[in-house]
Amino acid sequence: MAKANAGFFDPEFMKVPDFTQVYADFSKSFGEYGKLFGNGKLPGFDVEAMIAAQRKNIEALTAANQVAFEGVQTIAKRQIEIARKATEELSQVAKEFTVAGTPEDKLARHAALAKEAFEAAIANLRELSGIAQKANSEAVELISKRVVENLEEVKSALSPKIHAKK
Protein backbone atom coordinates (compact mmCIF):
# COMPACT_ATOMS: atom_id res chain seq x y z
CA MET A 1 0.00 0.00 0.00
CA ALA A 2 1.24 3.43 -0.81
CA LYS A 3 2.21 5.78 1.92
CA ALA A 4 -0.29 8.56 2.43
CA ASN A 5 0.97 11.97 1.56
CA ALA A 6 0.89 14.06 4.69
CA GLY A 7 1.24 17.28 2.77
CA PHE A 8 3.66 19.93 3.87
CA PHE A 9 4.36 18.42 7.30
CA ASP A 10 5.98 14.97 7.32
CA PRO A 11 5.78 13.33 10.77
CA GLU A 12 8.65 10.92 9.89
CA PHE A 13 10.99 13.91 9.71
CA MET A 14 10.43 14.75 13.36
CA LYS A 15 11.35 11.34 14.78
CA VAL A 16 14.38 11.34 17.07
CA PRO A 17 17.12 9.01 15.86
CA ASP A 18 18.31 6.10 17.97
CA PHE A 19 21.52 7.35 19.60
CA THR A 20 22.38 4.03 21.23
CA GLN A 21 24.08 2.81 18.03
CA VAL A 22 25.85 6.16 17.55
CA TYR A 23 27.10 6.06 21.14
CA ALA A 24 28.24 2.44 20.76
CA ASP A 25 30.21 3.34 17.62
CA PHE A 26 31.74 6.36 19.34
CA SER A 27 32.75 4.33 22.39
CA LYS A 28 34.24 1.64 20.20
CA SER A 29 36.22 4.14 18.08
CA PHE A 30 37.51 6.38 20.83
CA GLY A 31 37.81 3.81 23.61
CA GLU A 32 41.35 3.05 22.48
CA TYR A 33 42.40 6.67 23.08
CA GLY A 34 41.45 6.34 26.72
CA LYS A 35 43.90 3.48 27.06
CA LEU A 36 46.72 5.74 25.83
CA PHE A 37 46.19 8.11 28.71
CA GLY A 38 45.44 5.42 31.29
CA ASN A 39 48.51 6.20 33.38
CA GLY A 40 48.11 9.97 32.95
CA LYS A 41 50.95 10.23 30.47
CA LEU A 42 51.06 10.35 26.72
CA PRO A 43 53.32 7.58 25.46
CA GLY A 44 56.35 8.82 23.55
CA PHE A 45 55.96 12.37 24.87
CA ASP A 46 58.45 13.56 27.48
CA VAL A 47 56.82 16.39 29.40
CA GLU A 48 59.99 17.12 31.36
CA ALA A 49 62.00 17.52 28.15
CA MET A 50 59.36 19.87 26.77
CA ILE A 51 59.43 21.99 29.95
CA ALA A 52 63.23 22.08 29.87
CA ALA A 53 63.20 23.16 26.21
CA GLN A 54 60.68 25.92 26.93
CA ARG A 55 62.79 27.06 29.87
CA LYS A 56 65.81 27.31 27.55
CA ASN A 57 63.69 29.25 25.04
CA ILE A 58 62.66 31.74 27.72
CA GLU A 59 66.26 32.07 28.90
CA ALA A 60 67.41 32.78 25.33
CA LEU A 61 64.68 35.37 24.82
CA THR A 62 65.54 36.98 28.16
CA ALA A 63 69.22 37.16 27.23
CA ALA A 64 68.38 38.63 23.81
CA ASN A 65 66.07 41.16 25.45
CA GLN A 66 68.81 42.11 27.91
CA VAL A 67 71.30 42.66 25.08
CA ALA A 68 68.78 44.78 23.17
CA PHE A 69 67.95 46.80 26.30
CA GLU A 70 71.64 47.43 27.00
CA GLY A 71 72.01 48.61 23.41
CA VAL A 72 69.12 51.04 23.85
CA GLN A 73 70.68 52.32 27.09
CA THR A 74 74.04 52.82 25.38
CA ILE A 75 72.39 54.72 22.53
CA ALA A 76 70.42 56.90 24.96
CA LYS A 77 73.54 57.73 26.99
CA ARG A 78 75.47 58.56 23.84
CA GLN A 79 72.63 60.75 22.54
CA ILE A 80 72.69 62.68 25.81
CA GLU A 81 76.44 63.17 25.46
CA ILE A 82 76.00 64.33 21.85
CA ALA A 83 73.25 66.78 22.86
CA ARG A 84 75.36 68.16 25.72
CA LYS A 85 78.35 68.63 23.42
CA ALA A 86 76.18 70.25 20.73
CA THR A 87 74.77 72.68 23.31
CA GLU A 88 78.28 73.64 24.45
CA GLU A 89 79.41 74.11 20.86
CA LEU A 90 76.34 76.23 20.06
CA SER A 91 77.10 78.45 23.03
CA GLN A 92 80.68 78.85 21.81
CA VAL A 93 79.52 79.66 18.27
CA ALA A 94 77.07 82.25 19.55
CA LYS A 95 79.94 83.97 21.37
CA GLU A 96 82.05 83.95 18.20
CA PHE A 97 79.31 85.66 16.19
CA THR A 98 79.21 88.57 18.63
CA VAL A 99 82.83 89.39 17.89
CA ALA A 100 83.35 92.28 15.47
CA GLY A 101 84.41 91.46 11.96
CA THR A 102 83.58 91.94 8.33
CA PRO A 103 80.44 90.33 6.92
CA GLU A 104 82.62 88.23 4.58
CA ASP A 105 84.62 86.87 7.51
CA LYS A 106 81.42 86.05 9.42
CA LEU A 107 79.93 84.35 6.35
CA ALA A 108 83.09 82.29 5.82
CA ARG A 109 83.11 81.33 9.51
CA HIS A 110 79.41 80.46 9.33
CA ALA A 111 80.03 78.16 6.32
CA ALA A 112 82.95 76.47 8.12
CA LEU A 113 80.84 75.93 11.24
CA ALA A 114 77.96 74.49 9.16
CA LYS A 115 80.39 72.08 7.48
CA GLU A 116 81.82 71.01 10.86
CA ALA A 117 78.31 70.54 12.30
CA PHE A 118 77.25 68.44 9.30
CA GLU A 119 80.35 66.24 9.53
CA ALA A 120 79.85 65.82 13.28
CA ALA A 121 76.19 64.88 12.75
CA ILE A 122 77.14 62.25 10.15
CA ALA A 123 79.84 60.83 12.45
CA ASN A 124 77.39 60.71 15.37
CA LEU A 125 74.76 59.03 13.20
CA ARG A 126 77.26 56.40 12.08
CA GLU A 127 78.32 55.79 15.67
CA LEU A 128 74.73 55.43 16.90
CA SER A 129 73.73 53.15 14.03
CA GLY A 130 76.83 51.03 14.71
CA ILE A 131 75.82 50.65 18.36
CA ALA A 132 72.28 49.69 17.35
CA GLN A 133 73.51 47.24 14.72
CA LYS A 134 75.88 45.59 17.19
CA ALA A 135 73.12 45.16 19.80
CA ASN A 136 70.69 43.79 17.21
CA SER A 137 73.28 41.38 15.85
CA GLU A 138 74.04 40.06 19.31
CA ALA A 139 70.34 39.61 20.11
CA VAL A 140 69.65 37.84 16.81
CA GLU A 141 72.69 35.62 17.35
CA LEU A 142 71.36 34.49 20.73
CA ILE A 143 67.93 33.68 19.29
CA SER A 144 69.40 31.98 16.21
CA LYS A 145 71.61 29.82 18.40
CA ARG A 146 68.56 28.73 20.42
CA VAL A 147 66.58 27.94 17.26
CA VAL A 148 69.39 25.67 16.06
CA GLU A 149 69.53 24.00 19.48
CA ASN A 150 65.76 23.53 19.38
CA LEU A 151 65.96 21.84 15.98
CA GLU A 152 68.74 19.57 17.23
CA GLU A 153 66.67 18.65 20.30
CA VAL A 154 63.68 17.76 18.13
CA LYS A 155 65.89 15.78 15.79
CA SER A 156 67.47 13.81 18.64
CA ALA A 157 64.09 13.22 20.28
CA LEU A 158 62.65 11.80 17.06
CA SER A 159 65.75 9.91 15.95
CA PRO A 160 65.30 6.85 18.26
CA LYS A 161 61.68 6.53 17.12
CA ILE A 162 62.65 6.73 13.47
CA HIS A 163 65.32 4.05 13.89
CA ALA A 164 62.93 1.86 15.90
CA LYS A 165 60.36 1.87 13.07
CA LYS A 166 62.90 0.65 10.48
Report yes or no on 83 lying in a domain: yes
Report yes or no on 41 lying in a domain: no
119-146 residue pLDDT tens:
999 999 999 999 999 999 999 999 999 9
CA distance 72 to 131: 9
What is residue 1's predicted lDDT score, i.e. its pLDDT?
Answer: 47
CA distance 79 to 60: 29
Report yes or no on 107 lying in a domain: yes
pLDDT top residue among 47 and 50: 50
The whole model's pTM is what?
0.61
19-42: average pLDDT: 67
Report yes or no on 161 lying in a domain: yes
- Count of domains observed in the chain: 1
Report yes or no on 151 lying in a domain: yes
Cβ–Cβ < 8 Å for 130, 55: no
CA distance 19 to 6: 26
The total number of residues written for the chain in this structure: 166
Report yes or no on 1 lying in a domain: no
Question: Following DSSP, what letter does each residue of 102-145 receive, concatenated?
Answer: -HHHHHHHHHHHHHHHHHHHHHHHHHHHHHHHHHHHHHHHHHHH
Domain that holds residue 131: 74-166
